[in-house]
């Protein structure tokens, strides 16, 4: 426990305040992950230029090649009679330069109670919608080259910046001002959440309603619904999801479909599009051999209300587990974009979330190492 307190003190003065809590509670855990690699993109969008322009190739030290770099604190206390109290605090790390973005605990800051009946949490937390589909997205919502970006960029009303806007909703991935219930009933897992908009204009303005669930038996099935209302009655976004996974020996076939609709304004490369109807499909499979997991996946996304916004992407990757905590990985993605392609349909982005060059074919290759602690 003394080692844990020492580690906390090295984080900085703000976190050192929590050291006495960690000392008093033997079940407080410091955890995290660092994921860094070298990534090369054949084409990039200029920082200040249009998405039709090509700034040339780019080689970079990339943070979060397969999973985000994070650190956090979590703990539980046995309250007796099968009841426990718990808390979660979790932050992003820009491991390439040692900074953080979006606030200290942008990912999680919640407290709650749990028992055999399930768990209730209050505060900032993961959306049950994205958690439901972790087992059915072909690449498990990896930080790069997965359904993560179409999921996120289609759910931000009024173009509000990440961490702000409706209900402090962070791109539909993290919910602020939220109350949630999660429970497991045999092979069925269910999560529901409501995030308060905290607006004086209307009780529903800025609010988020989510339900997500999965069945994990011989096959895996996932489903979700998420509605985000914009502030001041400026519209809303809705997302429906349905996925499945089938194991075939060393192979596992996965498929996920997301339908995103907006009658307000969603974030679109810094511009606003009044209405969208984006359909996104992902299909692929894993093959496990020894310490390796090889994945081949194909993604297609398009906006029915703007036919020029369409992107097709093929991804091939391999993860090699050196241990339970350390993984070496290599991955390559090849994307073909239409003339109006944006982050609403892309599954990968270049630095600054600028998206891919429109009406071009782009290849991105990366190798890296992920270590969990």
> 50 or 193, which is more confident?
193
Rounded to an integer, the average pLDDT of 107-123 is 97
Q: Lowest mean pLDDT of 16-25, 126-135, 283-292, name the range.
A: 16-25
H helix or E strand, kind and range, residue 76: strand 70-80
- Asked if the 2-372 domain carries CATH number 2.40.160.10, the reply is yes
- Band of residue 311 on the pLDDT scale cut at 50, 70, 90: very high
At 167, give phi and psi (nearest 5°). Answer: 55, 25
Please answer whether residues 148 and 155 qualify as being in contact, where contact means their C-beta atoms are separated by less than 8 angstroms: no
Would strands 174-185 and 188-195 be described as parallel, antiparallel, or unpaired?
A: antiparallel
Q: What is the pLDDT of residues 330-355, one digit of tens each?
A: 999 999 999 999 989 999 877 667 78
Q: Any idea what DSSP says for residue 207?
A: -
Which pLDDT does position 203 carry in this prediction? 78
What is the rounded average pLDDT of the residues 231-247?
90
At 328, the pLDDT band (50, 70, 90 cuts) reads very high
Is the per-residue pLDDT at 228 higher than 60?
yes
The 10 Å Cβ neighbour count of residue 206 is 27
Tell me the per-residue pLDDT of 145-188, one tens digit each, with 9 for 90 and over: 999 999 998 987 654 444 444 456 788 999 999 999 999 999 99
Instruction: Centre a 10 Å sphere on the Cβ of residue 65 and count the other Cβ atoms it contains.
Output: 25
Strand partners, 319: 293, 329
How far is it, in rounded angstroms, from Cα 23 to Cα 18?
A: 9
- What is the reported pLDDT for 41? 95
Q: What tokens appear for 46 in the block?
A: 């200029």
> Percent of the chain at pLDDT above 70?
86
Q: What is the mean predicted confidence (pLDDT) over 14-28?
A: 49
H/E element, 257: strand 251-262
CA atoms within 13 A on the CB side of 112: 21
Mean pLDDT for the stretch of residues 51-55: 92
Mean pLDDT of 219-233: 91
pLDDT tier for residue 212 given thresholds of 50, 70 and 90 = very high
Q: So what's the pLDDT on residue 272?
A: 65
Per DSSP, the residues of 311-346 read: EEEEEEEEEEESSSSEEEEEEEEEEEE-TT--TTT-
pTM: 0.88
Assign 271 a pLDDT band (cuts: 50, 70, 90).
low
Question: Rounded to the nearest 5 degrees, what angle is found at the Cα of 89, between the Cα atoms of 85 and 93?
Answer: 160
**What pLDDT shows up at residue 265?**
65
Q: Which residues contact 191 (CB under 8 A, 6 or more apart)?
A: 128, 131, 132, 180, 181, 182, 183, 210, 211, 212, 213
The Cα 90–Cα 104 span in angstroms is 8
The number of CA neighbours under 13 Å toward the Cβ of 294 is 6
């Amino acid at each position: 426990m003394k080692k844990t307190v020492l580690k906390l003190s090295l984080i900085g003065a703000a976190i050192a305040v929590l050291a006495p809590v960690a000392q008093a509670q033997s079940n407080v855990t410091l955890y995290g992950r660092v994921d860094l690699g070298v990534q090369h993109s054949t084409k990039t969008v200029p920082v200040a230029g249009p998405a039709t322009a090509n700034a040339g190739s780019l080689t970079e030290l990339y943070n979060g090649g397969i999973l985000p770099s994070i650190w956090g604190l979590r703990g539980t206390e046995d309250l007796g009679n099968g009841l426990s109290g718990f808390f979660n605090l979790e932050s992003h790390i820009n491991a390439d330069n040692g900074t953080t973005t979006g606030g200290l605990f942008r990912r999680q800051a919640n407290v709650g109670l749990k028992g055999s009946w399930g768990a209730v949490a209050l505060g900032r937390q993961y959306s049950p919608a994205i958690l439901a589909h972790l087992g059915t997205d072909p690449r498990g919502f990896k930080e790069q080259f997965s359904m993560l970006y179409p999921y996120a960029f289609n759910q931000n009303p009024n173009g509000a910046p990440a961490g702000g806007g409706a209900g402090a909703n962070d791109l539909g991935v993290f919910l602020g001002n939220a109350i949630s219930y999660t429970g497991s009933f045999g092979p069925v897992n269910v999560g529901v959440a409501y995030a308060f908009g905290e607006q004086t204009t209307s009780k529903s303005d800025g609010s988020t309603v989510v339900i997500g669930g999965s069945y994990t038996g011989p096959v895996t099935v996932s489903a979700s619904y998420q509605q985000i209302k914009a502030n001041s009655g400026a519209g809303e976004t809705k997302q429906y999801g349905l996925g499945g996974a089938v194991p075939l020996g060393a192979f596992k076939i996965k498929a996920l479909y997301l339908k995103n609709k907006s009658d307000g304004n969603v974030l679109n490369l810094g511009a606003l599009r009044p209405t969208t109807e984006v359909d996104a499909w992902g299909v692929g499979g894993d093959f496990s051999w020894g310490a390796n997991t090889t994945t081949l996946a194909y993604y297609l996304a398009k906006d029915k209300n703007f036919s020029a916004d369409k992107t097709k992407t093929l991804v091939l990757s391999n993860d090699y587990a050196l241990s339970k905590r350390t993984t070496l990985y290599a991955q390559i993605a090849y994307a073909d974009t239409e003339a109006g392609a944006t982050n609403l349909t892309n599954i990968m982005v270049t630095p600054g979330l600028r998206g891919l060059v429109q009406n071009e074919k782009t290849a991105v290759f990366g190798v890296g190492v992920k270590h969990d602690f």
